[in-house]
């Protein structure tokens, strides 16, 4: 299904405003100096991808070939892979960090994708997420469910009624409370697979 997320000019025009008003600071918190090997899933047009330090070994991934072309222009030199979060083409324990910005609302099978993330993270590695989730209030949740079908069609995959933070927890990740930020429907947190230490 194709929609706004797969039309770089439209997506970037809308997102430039969002980044300036709200998201830019949250995005920058996803990347850190001294990150070792990083997998960024669902890079889209590369708005977060371009923020990684030149010393970080980053690989970007997205299922959509068109957005990957824009990401390549925005972040030249970073290897990009056309693949889905549900079937990551990497060996286990391959990455220190997995970054996801506004992606798991669009992943068809988020539970499978999160299992894959846990598989490719090395012991002690962490998943850094910036996601939007369904509103907490009863009315907000109801509205998110109502607008979901046309919104998903318009955007090309985004589901506004997902409880991504809850899914992350239910798939065996522990959210590091020190990293957790919440504002309206936005969530920013780091999570580690259960059994690993929260850093």
Ligand X SMILES: C[S@@+](CC[C@H](N)C(=O)[O-])C[C@H]1O[C@@H](n2cnc3c(N)ncnc32)[C@H](O)[C@@H]1O
152 binds ligand X (CB under 6 A): no
- 112 vs 198 by CB, closer to ligand X: 112
CB within 8 Å of 5: residues ≥ 6 apart: 11, 44, 64, 67, 106, 155, 156, 157, 158
The count of C-alpha atoms lying within 13 angstroms of the C-alpha of 12, restricted to the half-sphere facing its C-beta, is 13
Residue choice 108, 145, 153, 170 for contact with ligand X (CB under 6 A): 108
Encoded tokens for 146: 């109502």
- 85 vs 168 by CB, closer to ligand X: 85
47-51 long-range CB contacts below 8 Å, 24 or more apart?
A: 47/12, 47/15, 47/19, 47/74, 47/101, 48/99, 48/101, 48/130, 49/74, 49/75, 49/78, 50/74, 50/75, 51/27
- 109 vs 123 by CB, closer to ligand X: 109
Closest approach of ligand X to the CB of residue 188, in Å: 12
Residue choice 106, 126, 152, 164 for contact with ligand X (CB under 6 A): 106
- 46 vs 193 by CB, closer to ligand X: 46
Determine the distance from the C-alpha atom of residue 95 to the mean position of all C-alpha atoms in its chain, rounded to a whole number: 15
- 83 vs 143 by CB, closer to ligand X: 83
Task: Tell me the pairing of strands 186-193 and 173-175.
Answer: antiparallel
Closest approach of ligand X to the CB of residue 45, in Å: 6
- 101 vs 126 by CB, closer to ligand X: 101
How many residues bind ligand X (CB under 6 A)? The answer is 23
* 182: β partners: 187
Encoded tokens for 9: 């000019």
102 binds ligand X (CB under 6 A): yes
CB 72 within 8 A of CB 62: no
Judged by CB under 6 A, the chain residues 42 through 101 that form the site for ligand X are 42-44, 47-48, 62-64, 67, 84-86, 101
Which segment (41-49, 115-123, 164-172, 187-195) binds ligand X by CB under 6 A? 41-49
The count of C-alpha atoms lying within 13 angstroms of the C-alpha of 129, restricted to the half-sphere facing its C-beta, is 27
Closest approach of ligand X to the CB of residue 58, in Å: 13
| Chain residues that interact with ligand X, rule: CB under 6 A | 5, 15, 41-44, 47-48, 62-64, 67, 84-86, 101-103, 106-108, 157-158
């Amino acid at each position: 299904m194709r929609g706004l997320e797969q039309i770089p000019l439209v997506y970037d025009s809308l997102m430039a405003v969002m980044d300036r008003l709200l998201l830019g600071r949250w995005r920058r918190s996803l990347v850190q100096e001294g990150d070792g090997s990083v997998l960024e899933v669902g890079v889209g047009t590369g708005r977060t991808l371009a923020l990684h330090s030149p010393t970080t070994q980053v690989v970007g991934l997205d299922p959509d070939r068109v957005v990957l072309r824009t990401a390549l222009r925005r972040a030249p030199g970073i290897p990009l892979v056309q693949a889905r979060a549900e079937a990551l083409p990497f060996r286990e324990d391959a990455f220190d960090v997995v970054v996801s910005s506004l992606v798991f609302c669009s992943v068809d099978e988020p539970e499978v994708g999160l299992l894959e993330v846990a598989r490719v993270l090395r012991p002690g590695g962490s998943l850094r997420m910036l996601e939007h989730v369904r509103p907490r209030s009863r009315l907000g949740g109801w509205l998110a469910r109502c607008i979901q079908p046309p919104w998903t069609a318009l955007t090309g995959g985004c589901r506004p009624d997902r409880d991504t933070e809850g899914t992350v927890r239910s798939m065996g990740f522990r959210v590091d409370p020190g990293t957790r930020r919440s504002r309206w429907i936005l969530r920013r947190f780091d999570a580690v697979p259960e059994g690993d230490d929260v850093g």
